[in-house]
A and B are shown apart, each in its own frame.
Chain A
Amino acid sequence: MNKVLKNARLLDGSIVDIEFVNGEIAQIGQDLSGKLEIDIAGNLLIPSLVDLHTHLREPGREDSETVATGCLAAVRGGYGAISPMANTTPVADTAGVVEQVFALGKEAALCDVFPIGAVTQGLQGEKLAELGAMNSSRASVRIFSDDGKCVFDPLLMRRALEYVKSFDGIIAQHAQEPRLTNGAQMNEGEISSRLGLTGWPAVAEEAIIARDILLAEHVNSKLHICHLTTAGGVELVRAAKARGVQVTAEVTPHHLLLTDDLIVDYDAVYKVNPPLRTSADVLALRAGLADGTIDIVATDHAPHPSEDKDCEWQEAAFGMLGLETALSVVVLAMVESGLIDWTTLVERMAIAPARIAGYSGHGESIRVGAKANLAVIDTSASWTVDRNKMASKSKNTPFHEMTLPSLVVKTFFNGELVFDISEKGGV
């Protein structure tokens, strides 16, 4: 059965009708007709977003998020592919676990779920996990990360970078020098000193980024820097790219908008790792994302149950929700501030992440033959975030009660409408 999207506005401003057949774009033109017609009334149509850094909590902590609820949150945020990190219980360090997560994603059938495998067994940083087995599994894992923990041992990091070259893999590093961040609670600076919270200094991130850039350069491998947060880190990546190192980097929406002075009341909703930094860092991250030093936006969507946030700061868990607010936060931080246009936003949130990860059928420009993985955005709307109305099982969004620009109104996955804001709860 063919399906026609009427009155879609493309990034170049043109208004077109688009016909889907078998989950692919079959025709782009004017006055097309189909058995099912959906009029999107001049709203913006873009390739659905791709997240390379997601935490779903299945297996192990299904009380905070399952693969299915995470997928629902994803499609509400306009995502077509997400990449759950390995820090589940058990850890996704074997072909069995990554295949389980992959299968759960297929079962949810809302978006693609491409698991990220652990670099080391049990995220312990001691022995390599079976990277080859995860790569050749049905989940076809290409990105490996111990995210949440840093692969600190330089020899192990070197070996991991080398090992994945045989199947064109990538090591995604959570850059955190563990000795410099022993007991760390928030960005080290004026605010942490005043609040009496143990500091997480920028140098602890930058020292690992610098080391890993040198390692990746030495062994000519692909390195991806997770959730860059410091101005110094942006400079390191910029310099490495200038001399041709195969390094890519991501920034989260929350690090593009929020700063450490929000923590004055010890509200643990702002507790995240790496921590919220200063406004100077935020401006450097925005500039880095605008000029392409930072390749992509990644959510680091990290659901936690309320009891892990509604407590003393130092007892609280690190992490924030991200999938459902990412697009709007990036529009606010980057587009409304005039740093980038929508075309660049789509590059950073859909096209580049799909290209880095090699996710086929995602991040394609809207053309005949492309997979119909698409999101419809009302760019003139604004909406107020309500943590009690999230698709995620958890409520730990730092954007609660903030009014944000641009609203995802529909998401298509392989041509199927998987989210529609006009329906109750969205599909």
Chain B
Amino acid sequence: MNRHLLSIGDLDRSEAISILDTAFELSKISDGAMKKLPTLRGRTVVNLFFEDSTRTRISFESAAKRLSADVINFSAKGSSVSKGESLKDTAQTLQAMGADAVIIRHSASGAAARLADSGWISASVINAGDGTHEHPTQALLDAYTIRSKFPELKSDFSGLKVAIVGDILHSRVARSNVLLLKKLGAEVTLVSLPTLLPVGVESWGVKVSYNFDSILKNVDVVMMLRIQSERMNEAFFPTAREYSRGFGLDQDRLESLKSKAIVMHPGPMNRGLEISAASADSLQSVVLAQVSNGVLVRMAVLYQLLGGTPLNVVSNSKEVVN
């Protein structure tokens, strides 16, 4: 596996499966009384967040701490970054401090790649969301969640039909999910307004639908994306209500789904906009499972990137770590 995780494109199919399998092994440990492993003791993991995202940051923080890493949270707000320090200087500062891994969230597409490829630092870089590019750990945790609900899939998602619904154009979650789901063999349909689909989407190897209702009965997974209501100010759609009528997962649409279909959302949700409260809280919703699986998958990624000791040894350890 590469030293960095910048894009789902960095992983081949077997590496992706290996992360999911590792996360599954870790889940067995996490279900036990002793949740913490000594694997990354003495290693320093930096959460470098240029964009506010409490949920992603605490997910990575929990993952690193459960592996006994030292965690430094570096938030751009109120730091030297807001005083005009460049990404390069920030990176070199972290390097001088001896970071082993840097988890970066940034509003600029490609910021994680720049951090990894510019020779500024030697640490492993994990992309925790860069602009409208990718969010690879989200896609991995989504795949993990899908597999946990459809255990017959194992390492081949052939036959699984997934709809990704909403603002594809601006969604890093959608880009990473398309890449990973296709890699695993699933059939992906992007459901959105023409204004919210990227130019050239026909080259992505996915189906496209402008009509949410027409695909509801056929899909196994409905992945709802967060819509930013201010997009209407840029004329992507006329009003939030019109968007919601066409692409919100409301009660009627929820009832049209197959009984075994699951409803996903990367969070944070706009209840009443892209997803109704009833849908979000329904039995078919796996939103909370996504959150808890996020910690497991991020543990697995840290574990593999930072070269943890073989898992079977660690999982048998009775060592108590503070």
**Residues of A that sit less than 8 Å from B by CB:** 185, 188-190, 192-199, 201, 265-266, 307, 310-315
Contact = CB atoms under 8 A, between A and B. Distances in A.
- Shortest 7 CB-CB contacts between residues of A and residues of B: A266-B110, A196-B133, A193-B198, A196-B132, A190-B200, A312-B108, A196-B109
B2 interface: no
Max count, chain B CB within 10 A of own CB: residue among A188, A196, A310: A196
Given A188-B199, A201-B199, A195 B110 contact: yes
Contacts of B199: 188-190, 192-193, 199, 201
A313 B175 CA distance: 19
Contact of A266 (B86, B114, B172, B204): B114
B110 A194 contact: no
Nearest to B119: A310
B131 interface: yes
Contacts of B278: none
Contacts of B86: 307, 311
Contacts of A193: 198-201, 204
B117 interface: yes
B198 A315 contact: no
A189 B200 contact: yes
A54 to B, nearest CB: 28
Contacts of B201: 193
B138 to A, nearest CB: 14
Nearest to A198: B132
A12 to B, nearest CB: 48
Nearest to B199: A188
A197 B203 CA distance: 17
Nearest to A189: B200
Contacts of B204: 193
Interface residues of B, number: 25
Interface of B: 86-88, 106, 108-111, 113-114, 117-118, 130-134, 172, 175, 198-201, 203-204
A311 B111 CA distance: 8
A124 B114 CA distance: 33
A190 B113 CA distance: 19
A265 to B, nearest CB: 6
17 contacts: A189-B199, A192-B199, A193-B199, A194-B175, A195-B133, A196-B110, A196-B175, A197-B109, A197-B110, A266-B114, A311-B87, A311-B88, A312-B106, A312-B108, A312-B110, A313-B114, A314-B110
Contact of B172 (A190, A196, A312): A196
Max count, chain A CB within 10 A of own CB: residue among B87, B117, B131: B131
B109 to A, nearest CB: 4
Contacts of A189: 199-200
A118 to B, nearest CB: 29
A313 B108 contact: yes
Given A192-B199, A201-B199, A311 B114 contact: yes
A78 to B, nearest CB: 33
Max count, chain B CB within 10 A of own CB: residue among A194, A195, A312: A312
Max count, chain B CB within 10 A of own CB: residue among A192, A198, A265, A266: A266
A266 B87 contact: no
Nearest to B179: A194
Given A196-B132, A266-B110, A314-B109, 8 more contacts: A185-B109, A188-B199, A195-B109, A197-B133, A198-B132, A311-B86, A312-B87, A312-B106
Contacts of A201: 199
A313 to B, nearest CB: 5
Contacts of B134: 196
Contacts of A192: 198-200
A201 B198 CA distance: 12
A188 to B, nearest CB: 5
A57 B242 CA distance: 50
Max count, chain A CB within 10 A of own CB: residue among B108, B130, B132, B175: B108
Contacts of A312: 87, 106, 108, 110-111, 114
Nearest to B9: A194
Contacts of B110: 195-197, 266, 312-314
Contacts of B109: 185, 195-197, 266, 313-314
Contacts of A266: 109-110, 113-114
